[in-house]
Amino acid sequence: MSAFFVTGTDTGVGKTVVSCAIAAALCRRGMRVSVMKPCETGEGDDAEQLIAASGHPHNLKWVRPYAFRLPASPEVAAAHEGKSIELAPIVDAFHALSRDADVTLVEGAGGLLVPIAPSFLMADLARALSLPIVIVARPSLGTVNHTLLTIEAARARGLTILGVVFSRRAHAAGPDEETNPEAIRIHGQVQILGTLPSVREPGNIVELADAAAQLDLEKLIHRRPR
């Protein structure tokens, strides 16, 4: 069984699109894929998108144990409803989902240092689940700094980094985009797993699975993190 945690350099960088593309591509190869979005805030439907891409009707309560309406960090959004987030239901759901899966993919919310509870950040959740991370980053200007900061924060917390995936939202690429992956590979001492091209319909599972051909999926699945 392989499992990994998909984080990003920021909110809105393409974690869900990349996660769905990976899930759809692995499902197409005949692998049993489980997915999780442990804490979802705001009006998004990441959990439903992940379930659709996984090719299996996973139980939404396990995939997404916590959902809050306020578009804020999980800690703040939970407090806004007079609630708090506990680790145990997330760990239990992860074990239930990953039991019969070949690959389990867990999408964080926002970036690594987003608060989930007092003294508990997204990075601590990846640690608590014993998962290595995949960092999703923008290909465009500013990404070298954001990605290197994320790498440094991850290593400072003892997380293993499987690699960096870029998600290209716009068709046009800026002049720095050609050199950014190599700069991050060298300065961050990380593997670059590829760039997901801009997809026309991010909800189209076939298109996502096709786009994932640009990613080095072998590096994600031939690993036993636990």
Ligand X SMILES: Nc1ncnc2c1ncn2[C@@H]1O[C@H](COP(=O)(O)OP(=O)(O)OP(=O)(O)O)[C@@H](O)[C@H]1O
Catalytic machinery residues: 37
State the binding string over 104-143 for ligand X (x if CB under 6 A, else -): -----xx---------------------------------
φ/ψ of residue 61, rounded to 5: -65, -30
Q: List the interface residues with Mg ion, window 2-21 (CB under 5 A).
A: 15-16
Beta carbon of residue 13, minimum distance to Mg ion (angstroms, whole number): 9
Q: Which H or E element spans position 181? A: helix 180-188
Beta carbon of residue 88, minimum distance to ligand X (angstroms, whole number): 23
How many residues make contact with ligand X (CB under 6 A)?
Answer: 19
Q: List the interface residues with ligand X, window 5-44 (CB under 6 A).
A: 8, 11-17, 44
Contact between 65 and 38 under an 8 Å Cβ cutoff? The reply is yes
d(CA 101, CA 71): 31
Q: Specify the pairing of strand 161-167 against strand 192-196.
A: parallel
Q: List the interface residues with ligand X, window 142-171 (CB under 6 A).
A: 167-169
Beta carbon of residue 16, minimum distance to Mg ion (angstroms, whole number): 3
d(CA 217, CA 27): 12
Choose the binding region for ligand X from 27-35, 150-158, 173-181, 198-206 (rule: CB under 6 A).
Answer: 198-206
State the binding string over 27-56 for Mg ion (x if CB under 5 A, else -): -------------------x----------
Q: Is the dihedral of CA 108, 72, 156, 185 positive or negative?
A: positive
Question: 125 vs 199, which CB is nearer to ligand X?
Answer: 199
- Let me know how many helices (H) and strands (E) the chain has, helices first: 10, 10
Which two tokens mark 104?
A: 């389990």
Give which of 92, 191, 66, 201 is closest to 132, Cα–Cα: 191
Choose the binding region for ligand X from 22-30, 60-68, 151-159, 196-204 (rule: CB under 6 A).
Answer: 196-204
